[in-house]
Protein backbone atom coordinates (compact mmCIF):
# COMPACT_ATOMS: atom_id res chain seq x y z
CA UNK A 1 0.00 0.00 0.00
CA UNK A 2 1.27 3.46 -0.72
CA UNK A 3 0.15 6.99 -0.25
CA UNK A 4 0.54 9.01 -3.39
CA UNK A 5 2.19 12.40 -3.24
CA UNK A 6 0.32 15.44 -4.44
CA UNK A 7 2.36 17.15 -7.10
CA UNK A 8 1.45 20.65 -8.13
CA UNK A 9 2.77 21.01 -11.61
CA UNK A 10 3.57 23.93 -13.82
CA UNK A 11 0.74 22.81 -16.09
CA UNK A 12 -1.68 23.64 -13.32
CA UNK A 13 -0.49 27.21 -13.26
CA UNK A 14 -0.63 27.53 -17.03
CA UNK A 15 -4.27 26.48 -17.16
CA UNK A 16 -5.25 28.33 -14.01
CA UNK A 17 -7.98 30.38 -15.68
CA UNK A 18 -10.10 27.28 -16.20
CA UNK A 19 -9.80 26.35 -12.54
CA UNK A 20 -11.35 27.20 -9.23
CA UNK A 21 -12.51 26.00 -5.84
CA UNK A 22 -15.93 24.58 -5.20
CA UNK A 23 -16.90 22.95 -1.91
CA UNK A 24 -13.27 23.17 -0.93
CA UNK A 25 -12.18 21.15 -3.94
CA UNK A 26 -9.83 22.55 -6.53
CA UNK A 27 -11.30 21.60 -9.86
CA UNK A 28 -11.65 22.61 -13.44
CA UNK A 29 -14.62 22.73 -15.71
CA UNK A 30 -15.02 18.95 -15.73
CA UNK A 31 -16.70 19.23 -12.31
CA UNK A 32 -20.12 18.64 -13.79
CA UNK A 33 -18.86 16.35 -16.47
CA UNK A 34 -22.20 15.51 -17.96
CA UNK A 35 -25.74 16.75 -17.68
CA UNK A 36 -28.96 15.92 -19.51
CA UNK A 37 -27.07 13.38 -21.62
CA UNK A 38 -24.51 15.92 -22.83
CA UNK A 39 -20.82 15.56 -22.14
CA UNK A 40 -17.57 17.14 -23.22
CA UNK A 41 -14.63 15.32 -24.75
CA UNK A 42 -11.24 16.37 -25.95
CA UNK A 43 -8.74 14.47 -28.05
CA UNK A 44 -6.46 12.01 -26.35
CA UNK A 45 -3.61 14.35 -27.27
CA UNK A 46 -5.16 17.34 -25.53
CA UNK A 47 -7.36 20.36 -25.96
CA UNK A 48 -8.49 21.67 -29.37
CA UNK A 49 -7.20 18.82 -31.51
CA UNK A 50 -10.34 17.43 -33.14
CA UNK A 51 -11.52 18.15 -36.66
CA UNK A 52 -15.26 17.94 -37.24
CA UNK A 53 -14.89 14.46 -38.63
CA UNK A 54 -12.80 13.27 -35.70
CA UNK A 55 -15.24 14.87 -33.26
CA UNK A 56 -18.11 12.92 -34.77
CA UNK A 57 -16.06 9.72 -34.45
CA UNK A 58 -15.32 10.38 -30.75
CA UNK A 59 -19.04 10.58 -29.94
CA UNK A 60 -19.87 7.59 -32.11
CA UNK A 61 -17.30 5.35 -30.42
CA UNK A 62 -19.13 5.89 -27.16
CA UNK A 63 -22.52 5.19 -28.65
CA UNK A 64 -23.53 8.84 -28.82
CA UNK A 65 -23.66 11.59 -31.40
CA UNK A 66 -22.84 15.27 -31.62
CA UNK A 67 -25.00 17.36 -29.32
CA UNK A 68 -27.29 20.00 -30.79
CA UNK A 69 -27.27 23.57 -29.53
CA UNK A 70 -30.65 22.91 -27.89
CA UNK A 71 -29.31 19.86 -26.04
CA UNK A 72 -26.28 21.84 -24.87
CA UNK A 73 -28.57 24.64 -23.65
CA UNK A 74 -30.75 22.13 -21.75
CA UNK A 75 -27.61 20.83 -20.03
CA UNK A 76 -26.42 24.35 -19.31
CA UNK A 77 -29.67 25.16 -17.58
CA UNK A 78 -28.95 22.48 -14.99
CA UNK A 79 -25.44 23.69 -14.40
CA UNK A 80 -23.25 22.38 -17.23
CA UNK A 81 -20.44 24.92 -17.51
CA UNK A 82 -17.35 24.26 -19.56
CA UNK A 83 -14.76 26.74 -20.68
CA UNK A 84 -13.80 24.97 -23.90
CA UNK A 85 -15.26 25.35 -27.37
CA UNK A 86 -16.43 22.12 -28.97
CA UNK A 87 -18.02 20.86 -32.15
CA UNK A 88 -21.79 20.52 -32.13
CA UNK A 89 -24.27 18.99 -34.53
CA UNK A 90 -23.84 20.02 -38.18
CA UNK A 91 -20.51 21.73 -37.65
CA UNK A 92 -21.49 24.38 -35.16
CA UNK A 93 -19.00 25.30 -32.42
CA UNK A 94 -19.77 26.63 -28.97
CA UNK A 95 -19.61 26.11 -25.22
CA UNK A 96 -21.92 26.48 -22.21
CA UNK A 97 -21.37 29.18 -19.61
CA UNK A 98 -23.37 29.29 -16.41
CA UNK A 99 -21.35 31.70 -14.34
CA UNK A 100 -19.99 34.84 -15.95
CA UNK A 101 -16.24 35.23 -15.68
CA UNK A 102 -13.65 37.54 -17.12
CA UNK A 103 -11.52 34.69 -18.44
CA UNK A 104 -14.18 32.73 -20.20
CA UNK A 105 -17.21 33.47 -22.33
CA UNK A 106 -16.47 37.19 -22.73
CA UNK A 107 -18.26 37.85 -19.42
CA UNK A 108 -21.51 36.49 -20.84
CA UNK A 109 -23.80 33.71 -19.66
CA UNK A 110 -25.42 31.25 -22.07
CA UNK A 111 -24.16 29.26 -25.01
CA UNK A 112 -21.19 31.05 -26.49
CA UNK A 113 -21.89 30.34 -30.14
CA UNK A 114 -19.12 30.47 -32.73
CA UNK A 115 -21.66 29.58 -35.39
CA UNK A 116 -21.46 27.01 -38.18
CA UNK A 117 -17.85 26.63 -39.20
CA UNK A 118 -17.15 26.71 -42.92
CA UNK A 119 -13.77 25.12 -42.36
CA UNK A 120 -14.41 21.65 -40.95
CA UNK A 121 -10.65 21.13 -40.55
CA UNK A 122 -10.53 23.56 -37.67
CA UNK A 123 -9.69 21.86 -34.40
CA UNK A 124 -11.87 22.09 -31.33
CA UNK A 125 -13.12 19.83 -28.56
CA UNK A 126 -16.51 18.17 -28.87
CA UNK A 127 -19.86 17.99 -27.11
CA UNK A 128 -21.56 14.62 -27.43
CA UNK A 129 -25.11 13.59 -26.62
CA UNK A 130 -25.98 10.16 -25.30
CA UNK A 131 -29.17 9.97 -23.28
CA UNK A 132 -28.61 6.37 -22.20
CA UNK A 133 -26.34 6.01 -19.23
CA UNK A 134 -22.75 5.76 -20.29
CA UNK A 135 -20.88 3.04 -18.46
CA UNK A 136 -17.64 4.66 -19.47
CA UNK A 137 -16.79 7.17 -16.79
CA UNK A 138 -18.79 9.58 -14.70
CA UNK A 139 -18.78 11.62 -11.53
CA UNK A 140 -18.94 9.37 -8.47
CA UNK A 141 -19.78 10.61 -5.00
CA UNK A 142 -20.84 7.37 -3.27
CA UNK A 143 -18.88 6.14 -0.27
CA UNK A 144 -18.03 2.93 -2.06
CA UNK A 145 -18.40 1.81 -5.63
CA UNK A 146 -17.09 -0.65 -8.17
CA UNK A 147 -15.56 0.76 -11.34
CA UNK A 148 -14.98 -1.40 -14.38
CA UNK A 149 -13.86 -1.10 -17.95
CA UNK A 150 -16.70 -0.71 -20.49
CA UNK A 151 -18.49 -4.00 -21.09
CA UNK A 152 -16.64 -5.85 -18.30
CA UNK A 153 -16.34 -8.87 -17.94
CA UNK A 154 -16.43 -8.88 -21.73
CA UNK A 155 -13.45 -7.40 -23.52
CA UNK A 156 -13.41 -3.64 -23.79
CA UNK A 157 -13.65 -2.01 -27.21
CA UNK A 158 -11.09 -0.01 -29.14
CA UNK A 159 -11.02 3.78 -28.92
CA UNK A 160 -12.37 4.12 -25.44
CA UNK A 161 -11.66 7.23 -23.41
CA UNK A 162 -13.26 7.10 -20.00
CA UNK A 163 -12.88 9.50 -17.09
CA UNK A 164 -14.09 8.69 -13.61
CA UNK A 165 -14.01 11.55 -11.14
CA UNK A 166 -14.38 10.42 -7.55
CA UNK A 167 -15.31 12.90 -4.87
CA UNK A 168 -16.05 11.85 -1.30
CA UNK A 169 -16.59 14.01 1.76
CA UNK A 170 -14.07 16.63 2.81
CA UNK A 171 -11.61 15.09 5.25
CA UNK A 172 -12.02 11.63 3.75
CA UNK A 173 -9.55 9.79 1.57
CA UNK A 174 -10.12 7.30 -1.20
CA UNK A 175 -8.70 3.81 -1.33
CA UNK A 176 -8.56 2.07 -4.70
CA UNK A 177 -8.47 -1.68 -4.50
CA UNK A 178 -7.98 -3.61 -7.73
CA UNK A 179 -10.01 -6.79 -8.16
CA UNK A 180 -9.10 -7.77 -11.70
CA UNK A 181 -6.71 -6.28 -14.17
CA UNK A 182 -5.95 -7.26 -17.77
CA UNK A 183 -5.13 -4.40 -20.11
CA UNK A 184 -3.14 -4.73 -23.34
CA UNK A 185 0.51 -4.88 -22.41
CA UNK A 186 3.32 -2.92 -24.01
CA UNK A 187 6.56 -1.74 -22.51
CA UNK A 188 5.63 1.91 -22.00
CA UNK A 189 1.86 1.45 -21.56
CA UNK A 190 1.25 3.63 -24.60
CA UNK A 191 -1.49 1.65 -26.30
CA UNK A 192 -4.09 0.96 -23.62
CA UNK A 193 -3.75 2.09 -20.03
CA UNK A 194 -5.41 3.20 -16.85
CA UNK A 195 -4.06 6.42 -15.34
CA UNK A 196 -4.67 7.34 -11.72
CA UNK A 197 -4.50 10.96 -10.57
CA UNK A 198 -4.51 12.16 -7.01
CA UNK A 199 -6.67 15.14 -7.95
CA UNK A 200 -9.95 16.07 -9.58
CA UNK A 201 -8.48 16.31 -13.06
CA UNK A 202 -5.94 14.63 -15.27
CA UNK A 203 -3.46 17.49 -15.18
CA UNK A 204 -2.01 17.38 -11.68
CA UNK A 205 -1.29 14.67 -9.14
CA UNK A 206 -0.31 11.89 -11.53
CA UNK A 207 -0.08 8.77 -9.39
CA UNK A 208 0.52 5.96 -11.83
CA UNK A 209 -0.13 4.38 -15.21
CA UNK A 210 -1.12 0.74 -15.39
CA UNK A 211 -1.31 -1.83 -18.19
CA UNK A 212 -0.63 -5.55 -18.56
CA UNK A 213 -2.06 -8.18 -16.27
CA UNK A 214 -0.22 -7.42 -13.05
CA UNK A 215 -2.72 -6.53 -10.31
CA UNK A 216 -1.74 -3.06 -9.02
CA UNK A 217 -1.35 -2.44 -5.28
CA UNK A 218 -3.95 -0.45 -3.40
CA UNK A 219 -3.67 3.30 -3.87
CA UNK A 220 -4.79 5.82 -1.27
CA UNK A 221 -5.41 9.45 -2.14
CA UNK A 222 -4.04 12.36 -0.15
CA UNK A 223 -7.32 14.28 -0.41
CA UNK A 224 -11.00 13.62 -1.06
CA UNK A 225 -10.80 13.52 -4.84
CA UNK A 226 -9.32 11.21 -7.45
CA UNK A 227 -9.48 10.85 -11.21
CA UNK A 228 -9.17 7.67 -13.23
CA UNK A 229 -8.65 7.77 -16.96
CA UNK A 230 -8.88 4.71 -19.15
CA UNK A 231 -7.78 4.82 -22.73
CA UNK A 232 -7.70 2.14 -25.41
CA UNK A 233 -6.22 2.46 -28.88
CA UNK A 234 -7.32 1.10 -32.21
CA UNK A 235 -5.89 -2.40 -32.15
CA UNK A 236 -5.70 -5.18 -29.59
CA UNK A 237 -8.20 -5.27 -26.76
CA UNK A 238 -8.00 -7.34 -23.59
CA UNK A 239 -10.15 -8.50 -20.70
CA UNK A 240 -10.39 -5.21 -18.87
CA UNK A 241 -10.34 -4.27 -15.23
CA UNK A 242 -12.47 -4.05 -12.16
CA UNK A 243 -11.66 -2.15 -9.01
CA UNK A 244 -13.45 -0.92 -5.96
CA UNK A 245 -12.99 2.41 -4.27
CA UNK A 246 -13.84 3.04 -0.64
CA UNK A 247 -14.01 6.31 1.28
CA UNK A 248 -11.75 6.27 4.34
CA UNK A 249 -12.34 8.41 7.39
CA UNK A 250 -8.90 9.87 7.89
CA UNK A 251 -9.35 10.20 11.63
CA UNK A 252 -10.40 6.61 12.19
CA UNK A 253 -8.62 4.65 9.47
CA UNK A 254 -4.95 5.25 10.03
CA UNK A 255 -3.18 5.74 6.76
CA UNK A 256 0.57 5.30 6.68
**Binds ligand NAG (CB under 6 A): choice among 54, 73, 113, 122:** 122
Q: Which residues pair with 182 in a beta bridge?
A: 240
**Binds ligand NAG (CB under 6 A): choice among 121, 132, 187, 235:** 121
Distance, in Å, from the CA atom of 141 to the CA atom of 164, rounded to the nearest integer, reads: 10
User: Could you say whether residue 254 binds ligand NAG (CB under 6 A)?
Assistant: no
Distance, in Å, from the CA atom of 176 to the CA atom of 226, rounded to the nearest integer, reads: 10
Q: Which stretch binds ligand NAG (CB under 6 A): 5-13, 17-25, 66-74, 116-124?
A: 116-124
Number of residues near ligand NAG (by CB under 6 A): 5
Q: Which stretch binds ligand NAG (CB under 6 A): 38-46, 106-114, 117-125, 219-227?
A: 117-125
SS3 call for 23: coil
Distance, in Å, from the CA atom of 81 to the CA atom of 65, rounded to the nearest integer, reads: 20
The secondary structure of 31-72 as a DSSP string is GS-EETTEEEE-BTTBSS-B-HHHHHHHHHHTT-EEPPHHHH
* Angle of CA points 19, 109, 163, to nearest 5°: 40
SS3 call for 29: helix
Nearer to ligand NAG, 189 or 220 (CB): 220
Rounded to a whole number of angstroms, the minimum distance from the CB of residue 121 to ligand NAG is 4
User: Could you say whether residue 249 binds ligand NAG (CB under 6 A)?
Assistant: yes
User: Could you say whether residue 54 binds ligand NAG (CB under 6 A)?
Assistant: no
Rounded to a whole number of angstroms, the minimum distance from the CB of residue 85 to ligand NAG is 13
Helix (H) or strand (E) holding 75: helix 69-76
Binding mask 214-233 for ligand NAG (x = CB under 6 A): --------------------
The span from the first CA to the last CA of the chain, in angstroms, equals: 9
On whether the CB atoms of residues 70 and 80 are closer than 8 A, the answer is: no
Nearer to ligand NAG, 77 or 249 (CB): 249
* Angle of CA points 252, 202, 188, to nearest 5°: 105
Binding mask 74-113 for ligand NAG (x = CB under 6 A): ----------------------------------------
User: Could you say whether residue 119 binds ligand NAG (CB under 6 A)?
Assistant: yes
Nearer to ligand NAG, 252 or 256 (CB): 252
User: Could you say whether residue 141 binds ligand NAG (CB under 6 A)?
Assistant: no
Distance, in Å, from the CA atom of 209 to the CA atom of 19, rounded to the nearest integer, reads: 24
Give the binding site for ligand NAG (CB under 6 A). 119, 121-122, 249, 252
Amino acid sequence: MRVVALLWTAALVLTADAWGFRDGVFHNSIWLEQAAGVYHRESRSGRYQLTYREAKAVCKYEGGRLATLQQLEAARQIGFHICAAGWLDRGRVGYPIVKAGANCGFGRVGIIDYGYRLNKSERWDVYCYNPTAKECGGVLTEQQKTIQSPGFPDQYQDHQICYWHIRVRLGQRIRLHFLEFDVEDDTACLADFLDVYDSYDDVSGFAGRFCGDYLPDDIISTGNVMTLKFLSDASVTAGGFQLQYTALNASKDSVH
